[in-house]
Structure 1
Amino acid sequence: MHEMTKGGNVGLATLSEDTGSLMVSLSWSSASGDGDADVSVLLLSADGKVRGDADFFFYNNPAAADGSVQLLGKTPTANGSEDRVSIDLTAVPDDVESLVVAASQYGTGHFGELDDLRVTVADRTGEALLGFTIADAGEESAFIFGELYRRAGEWKFRAVGQGYATGLAGLATDFGISVDEEEEPVPADEEETGAGEAHPEAAEQAGAAAAPSPVGPVAAPAPAVQAPAPAPSAGPDPAPARRPRGPRTAKKKVTLPKVAKKSLAENDSWRQARLFPAPTLKSDREREMRATSVLLAVMAQVPEFGRRLTAAFGAPAGRMQTFTEVTLPNGDTPRRPDGVIRVERAGKLWTALVETKTNGNPLRSEQVQDYMDIAARRGYEVVITLSNDVALEGSPLVEVKTDGRRKHKVTLWHLSWAEVAHQAQLLIRHEGVGNAAHAWLLQELLHYLQHENSGCHGFQNMGPAWVPVRNGIDTDTLCQGDERAVAVVESWERLIRQVCLRLGGELGQKVLPVQRAKRGTDQASRRAALADRLCEEGRLSAELRIDTTPGILAIAADLRTGKLRTSIEIPAPEQGYPLSWAKRLVRQLAEAPADLHVETLVEGNRGPRGTLERLRPEPGDLLPKDGVPINGFRLSLFKGMGSTRGNAESGFIRSVDEAVDRFYAGVVAHLTQPGSTERRSARRTSAPDPAEAAVLS
């Protein structure tokens, strides 16, 4: 891989013969685990400016209609997270001379708080071509990592490393984006369509203020729309409505309402007709064939969905066709992969073989190896495996060998059914698709995947090591270095990844696992250390970072006591008085469960604590008697965990899902972000009232 220095440039053709489709990855790490940033891409013409606001791709406008740019979202790494962007240089319009790849922090964050700022560029096969590390970040809240630009018909990359103290707004304005700092008029019909804010910071504030639904998800901000200009009329101008600030997307999207229409059925026993029926499925073979056909058909008919799933594998944007049960020659025994995907663009084909498993059936290494060999001989680019398992970095689901003597490279990618459902839910509930028919197709796909007979329910089994490990912890006979403990740690990580996918799809927000490890630690060593801790403490733990929440959501499963603990720590406000903080916290938690445990965090000692039921009439009981400074508050809910390894009613996996849902819906969704309107309005401007003064004294 070619390592670059700030200001350097290199021609992509000198690094690879196949640079038409690129994967640009921006990564960073944070010692605290809560640092993050949002990636953006700008298309610039010869004058160094965007042609219009639609050339600005970011959190609320993640993909270009022509497929030239698509933001693929974040994936966790050992020390932080990685944000990936798929760029198809063959689809970039002729009047675009360069693509700027940048990232911005929200709120008061700055890049000096993050470590290991780095951009890498890989070709279609996933082979890393170049890398650039930014080592001088400080108070900047936005950064240009690099730039792809044309020179004499050739694409080059420049390592930029330029920061902006003015954040995303300053960066966007520099390149010709209209960013309004104040609210300004908007046509009334845009309000009727429910257009939301397109600026990332504004979108986060809107998500934090949204009211929670009874089952957990909150209403995400609707995709922004470019409303048509109102027709001119005679007489005085009407009073204009108010428009959210910030750049807006250029294309109206369709999402399905959360509230279902009233049924016309005579009684509840009538079942609505479904495009993809599942109740009659009986055998694993039937489930695999039906699931593959349903998925591939929807991918071909809903371009946004098909592109979302295949762009991560290096596929270009183009005309997609999908096939099932294709027979391919393989010596004396032809092979029949479950599916084939073919994408055509500019007369070139991108092809992939698909191998599917449902109902928890594992992938077989020898079968996948055969498909890798066939793909290499026949010029296929990718083999995609699809199952209920969740892939982990450094722990492949199947072991395959590649013949380095072959000129044609084939890459192996894995997709979980949980990720398929996650992407479908994001599109139909939050980001939108091109038309109502596409939204309905995705809804039918999602209904099929969630049906109990489909076999596509995602990760469902903690594995054969789960029961022996729990028994070993109960009898205190589990020793450090036991390989079964490592297997349980891997299953726990797969479960947490799936929880993030499910919760992120429901909320329409980024939900990522936080991994705390020393820089440079490899995955195997990290998991071995966690397995030793499991043997010693009998506890599994994880942390989730959810956009628009004021802290990290922690999950701990104590295998000795059989209890699950979900918790979040809230920092103390910078201004005000402790009694005001306690009263305001109890007021925010008016709808929270009465058995919620609230603990005051103080330096060095255990602070006051109690259930919300006891604290509601007396919030002052949260204040330390000795007047020591308060660092924050910890909110916790406890739940008994299932004893079985699978998804039965008493199953461990189901109990984790239920614990996270209950905690988010009952607690986290009611909390306000630090710096929110409620917190600012509570800042002290006069002396405390007599009751508070008495407590403080």
Structure 2
Amino acid sequence: MSKGANVSLTELSEDAGAVVVSLSWSSVSGAGDADVSVLLVDANGKVRSENDFYFYNNPAAADGSVQLLGKTPTDSGEEDRIGVDLTAVPEGVERIVVAASQYGGARFGDLDDLRMTVADRSGEPLVGFSIHDAGVETAFIFGELYRRGEEWKFRAVGQGYETGLAGLATDFGIAVLEDAEDTEATEETAEADKATAVEEPGAVGQAAAAGTGQAGAEAGSDAGGPAGSGAPPAPPEPVAVPAQARGRGPRTTKKKVTLPKVARASLAENDSWHQARLFPVPTLKSDKEREVRATSVLLSVMAQVPEFGRRLTAAFGAPAGRMQTFTEVSLPHGETPRRPDGVIRVERAGKLWTALVETKTNGNPLKAEQVQQYMDIAARRGYEAVITLSNDVALEGAPMVDVKVDGRRKHKVSLWHLSWAEVAHQAQMLIRHEGVGNAAHAWLLQELLEYLRHEQSGCHGFQNMGAAWVPVRKGIEDETLAFDDPRAVEVVESWERLIRQVCLRLGGELGQRALPVQRVRRGSDPRARRTAAAGNLCRDGRLTAELRVDGTSSVIAVTADLRTGKVRTCVDVPAPAGSYPLTTVKRLVRLLAEAPADLHVESLVEGGNGPRGTLERLRPEPGDLLPRGGAALAGFRLSLIKGMGNTRGNTESGFIRSVDDAVDRFHQGVVAHLGPLEARAGRRG
């Protein structure tokens, strides 16, 4: 669609009562991020109350009309999705405005491929709109859904603001409460700042006027939006919302229950005493027992903890509503009935959304024939989805199983995949960082997490590098691997799955999103990219990847050298402009006071590398890092090197465990202690 155009959703789909709105962007450097927000506005173009503004601290509407589903990595960037149940939108709401904003001095012109897509509940794209003229704007209204009689329509807006979230929010009757920016303030100063913080709608309104204008100004016709007639009533009382600031902490939902990270001291006499668990696992003997119990445990917790059940199903197009789950349901299929491992049903406004669940544990692969049967059953019975659940991690362009879809059938069934690592990640995010509705729900999630982590559960996530791993690794060591060996592509796919799982585990621990960085253009063929990576593996014997934690500018590079049997994790730290090299080096060494002694530190100079050494040797003599010959200091490269282990096995105890441990040690021991290298303002004494 072009900017300003509009279209009726009911003309595009027979099932437009609920839609999934996606905002996506990419960045060649891997840096850059944006936060989505949704505003429900009335005929006057203003929010009615604080409950009409949804952002990272208020992600879901109580009535289920709006749900921020979070970000998911794509092949060349990331996508932020929003679930909108149009049948549940209150009568007083005329428009649903979808926007995004940046922080910390970033601009939308730094991002590529800005795009908004609207899909129906099955995931079928209905309409899309791309923004091509982004520049210095720090906030954008991508588009809006609006009422026209009894139907809902979509309008491509593309309205930018140079004044960021503050300017955008003020246009819709929202005042911004500025957060304190000094993270080193004392407790008394922080309390004083909170007590004296005031709303400044006038100042923010002037800032908005300096931007590119008010997005709600278009009114009257279909192309211009709903019109208000006569003198407008007095605007509602401004709603105070937190402003975005540099160096935000973890995103947490207000008034939620979270469990402490440090468990209480045990009352057991010795280590042989095991605490009673809600979901015991030591008696599990076979794969079938593991699958049955894991399915029942997961589905029962999903039904009893609404936040968790909604978190897992919203991404699959399920509405927000009353959920019930079932196991070992018998469904007719020819002469022999079939029994899927589970069934999920969600009721909303008298309508049912149903998904069949097929589960695998302990690294067992999904069977295409079995999944095909469930797809056929779901299509005949009018179900919406089939969800596969296993230890494997899904990749774009590499389906977990190949199934055929009968194009002659009017009813479409969506096939989705969920990994056990993602289930554990979502549970940990809720109970450790974001919170759930009450203490009982937090306890249930904790018990689920303990179950998933138990060695007997079989739900440990991706733990098998595949049949091609051992021969490819041996071929690289012996230098006998052919350049075009197709098994190298299989190893590259397994490596990508491993990195995505590492990101899930790291993000769950930190309470922040951790995403792989893909330095390719959006729309590039993922299979072609993996084929090129396989060629590099055959030539160099290395597997490489990059990942980034939300809220940080550092990109962590991971390299597995199969020839030397070493895993290297590293990060580049730029030197501040205009600073004295020796002062910068000393400050770096101070920041790394708690880092491992075997950390390798290397000076980076323009056009090459400078002096290097271990942190243990550099601590007493930091001047050894200074470039020779007066070369300009560009920054530093910090690296940790770890062995892959002696086993060739495919299990997590070998290579997979080594990579996971290497990233975890590097982030905790190095990245977590890094701060800005800029010298503090002023002088002492």
What TM-score, normalized by structure 1, do the two folds share?
0.88
Q: Does 1:117 align with 2:159?
A: no
Within 1, Cα distance between the matches of 2:157 and 2:384? 32
Letter in 1 for 2:585: A
The 3 A distance-change label for structure 1 pair 101 and 83 is: same
User: Does the alignment pair 1:352 with 2:350?
Assistant: no
> Is 1:74 the counterpart of 2:71 in the alignment?
yes
| 1:275 aligned residue | 278
Please report how far the alpha carbon of residue 70 of structure 1 lies from its aligned counterpart in structure 2 after TM superposition: 1.7
Partner of 2:344: 341
1:373 aligns with 2:415: no
CA distance change for structure 1 residues 206 and 29 in 2, over 3 Å: closer, same or farther? Answer: closer
Residue 438 (structure 2) aligned to one of 430, 435, 440: 435
Which residue identity is paired with 1:85?
A: I
Are positions 1:169 and 2:166 aligned together?
yes
**Alpha-carbon distance in structure 1 between the residues aligned to 2:103 and 2:486:** 42
Q: Which residue identity does 1:205 align to in structure 2? A: G
Q: How far apart are residue 394 of structure 1 and its match?
A: 0.4
Q: CA separation of 1:636/1:198 partners in 2, compared to 1, >3 Å: closer, same or farther?
A: farther
Q: Given that residues 21 and 87 in structure 1 are in contact (C-alpha distance below 8 angstroms), is that contact kept between their aligned partners in structure 2?
A: yes
* TM superposition shift of 1:364: 0.2
2:627 aligned residue? 624
- Report if the CA contact (8 A) 2:343-2:357 is conserved: yes
2:541 pairs with 1:543:
no
Kindly state the Cα deviation for residue 580 of structure 1 after the two structures are TM-superposed: 1.7
The answer to whether the 8 A contact 1:360-1:388 is kept is yes
| Offset at residue 538 of structure 1 (A) | 0.4
Structure 1 residue aligned with 2:662: 659
Residues 158-209 of structure 1, C-alpha deviations (whole Å, 9 max, x = no match): 1111111111222222222231125576589xxxxxxxx984744x6253xx
Question: Bigger CA drift: 500-509 or 97-106?
Answer: 97-106
Is contact 1:599–1:635 with CA below 8 Å preserved after alignment? Answer: yes
Cα deviation for residue 224 of structure 1 reads: 5.3
1:316 aligns with 2:319: yes
Cα deviations across residues 130-181 of structure 1 (Å, max 9, x unaligned)? Answer: 0101000001111111111112121111111111111122222222223112
Give the drift of 1:513. Answer: 0.2
Task: Tell me the equivalent position of 2:219.
Answer: none
1:576 and 1:682 in contact (8 A); partners too: no
Give the equivalent residue in structure 1 for 2:237: none
Confirm or deny: 8 A CA contact 1:342 1:351 kept in the other structure.
yes
Q: Give distance in 2, aligned partners of 1:569 and 1:583.
A: 17
Q: What residue in structure 1 maps to residue 528 of structure 2?
A: 525
SS of aligned partner of 1:179: strand
SS of equivalent to 1:555: strand
The answer to whether the 8 Å contact 2:175/2:241 transfers is no
Question: Could you list the runs of 5+ residues in structure 1 that have no partner in the other structure?
Answer: 189-196, 208-219, 226-251, 690-697
**CA distance in 1: counterparts of 2:332 and 2:12, whole angstroms:** 34
Which stretch shows the higher mean deviation, 31-40 or 276-285? 31-40
Cα distance in structure 2, aligned partners of 1:332 and 1:169 = 63
Structure 1 position 148 matched with structure 2 position 145: yes
Please give the alpha-carbon distance, in whole angstroms, between the structure 1 residues aligned to 2:125 and 2:248: 38
Structure 1 pair 273–187 and aligned structure 2 pair: CA distance change class (3 A):
farther
2:481 and 2:123 map into 1 onto residues whose CA distance is 40
- Cα distance in 2 for residues equivalent to 1:378 and 1:396: 24
Q: 1:647 aligns with which of 627, 634, 651?
A: 651
CA RMSD of aligned residues (A): 2.0
Q: Does structure 1 conserve the Cα–Cα contact (< 8 Å) formed by 2:77 and 2:522?
A: no
Cα deviation digits, residues 408-443 of structure 1 (max 9, x gap): 111100000111111000000001110000010000
Provide closer, same or farther for how the CA distance between residues 328 and 635 of structure 1 changes in structure 2, counting only shifts above 3 A. same
Q: Is the 8 A contact 2:567 2:644 kept in 1?
A: yes
Counterpart position of 1:212: none
**Identical columns (%):** 74
TM-score (norm 2): 0.89
Measured against aligned partners, the alpha-carbon deviations of 1:653-696 in whole angstroms (never above 9, x if no partner) come to 00001101100110000012x5xxx73x525x68x99xxxxxxx
Equivalent of 1:157 in 154, 157, 163: 154
Q: What is aligned with 1:205?
A: 247
| 1:13 corresponds to 2:14 | no
> 1:438 and 1:200, CA in 2 relative to 1: closer, same or farther beyond 3 A?
farther
Partner residue, 2:201: none
The question of whether the paired residues in 2 share the 8 Å contact of 1:60 and 1:200 is answered with no
Structure 2: where are the runs of 5+ without partners? 181-191, 197-239
Q: Partners of 1:625 and 1:380 in 2: how far apart? A: 69
Letter in 2 for 1:491: S
Is 1:566–2:563 an aligned residue pair? no
Deviation at 1:268, TM superposition (A): 2.9
Matched, 1:97 2:101: no
1:95-139, CA deviations, whole angstroms, 9 ceiling, x for partnerless residues? 222111111122111011111111111111111100101000001
| Equivalent pair of 1:9/1:156 in contact (CA under 8 Å) | yes
Shift of 1:372: 0.4
User: Does residue 592 of structure 2 align to residue 589 of structure 1?
Assistant: yes
Query: How far does the alpha carbon of each residue in 1:50-70 deviate from its partner, in whole angstroms, 9 at most, with x for none?
Result: 222332222232222222222
Residue 682, structure 1, aligned to residue 677, structure 2:
no
Alignment partner of 2:32 out of 23, 30, 35: 35
Task: Tell me, yes or no, if the aligned pair for 1:550 and 1:671 is still in contact at 8 Å.
Answer: no
Partner AA of 1:311 in structure 2: A
Q: For residues 62 and 585 of structure 1, do their structure 2 counterparts lie closer, same or farther at Cα, with a shift above 3 Å needed?
A: same
CA–CA distance in 1 between the matches of 2:275 and 2:61?
36
SS, match of residue 451 in structure 2:
helix
Is the CA contact (8 Å cut-off) linking 1:549 and 1:671 kept in structure 2?
no
CA–CA distance in structure 1, aligned partners of residues 590 and 552 of structure 2: 17
User: Quick one: which amino acid aligns to residue 615 of structure 1?
Assistant: L
Rounded to whole Å, the distance in 1 between the matches of 2:483 and 2:475 is 11
Question: Aligned equivalents of 1:224 and 1:187: distance in 2?
Answer: 22
Contact 1:543 1:555 in 2 (8 A): yes
Q: CA deviation at 1:77?
A: 1.9
Structure-1 separation of matches of 2:364 and 2:529 = 28
Aligned residue pair count? 630
Distance of 2:630 and 2:487 partners within structure 1 = 48
CA separation of 1:470 and 1:200: change in aligned 2, threshold 3 A: farther
Q: Secondary structure at the match of 1:544?
A: strand
* Alpha-carbon contact 1:354-1:383 (below 8 Å) kept: yes
Deviation at 1:550, TM superposition (A): 3.5
Q: Give the Cα–Cα distance (whole angstroms) in 2 for the partners of residues 618 and 114 of structure 1.
A: 41
Q: Secondary structure at the match of 2:594?
A: coil
1: distance between equivalents of 2:474 and 2:443?
47
Structure 2 residue 594 is the aligned partner of structure 1 residue 604: no
Q: Please show how residues 321-332 of structure 1 align to structure 2 within 5 Å.
A: 321-332=324-335
CA distance in 1, matches of 2:243, 2:655: 36
Secondary structure of 1:50's aligned partner: coil
How far the C-alpha of 1:46 sits from its partner, in A, is 2.3
For 2:590 and 2:422, locate their aligned partners in 1 and report how far apart those are by CA, in whole Å: 37
User: Aligned to 1:136, which of 133, 138, 161?
Assistant: 133
What's the CA shift string for 1:318-356, capped at 9, x where partnerless? 110100000001111100000011111111111110000
Q: 2:59 — aligned with what?
A: 62
Indicate conservation of the 8 Å contact 1:72/1:85, yes or no. Answer: yes
Which residue of structure 1 lines up, in the alignment, with residue 518 of structure 2?
A: 515
Specify whether residues 492 and 619 from structure 1 end up closer, same or farther in structure 2 by C-alpha distance, changes over 3 A only. same
| Residues 596 and 254 of structure 1, relative CA distance in 2, 3 Å threshold | same
Q: Is the 8 A contact 1:550 1:570 kept in 2?
A: no
Shift of 1:604: 1.0
- Cα separation, 2, equivalents of 1:185 and 1:631: 38
What SS is found at the alignment partner of 2:82?
strand
Q: Aligned AA for 2:651?
A: N
Code of the aligned partner of 1:274 = R
Kindly indicate whether the alpha-carbon contact (under 8 Å) linking 1:417 and 1:457 is maintained by their aligned counterparts in 2. yes
What displacement does 1:283 show?
0.5
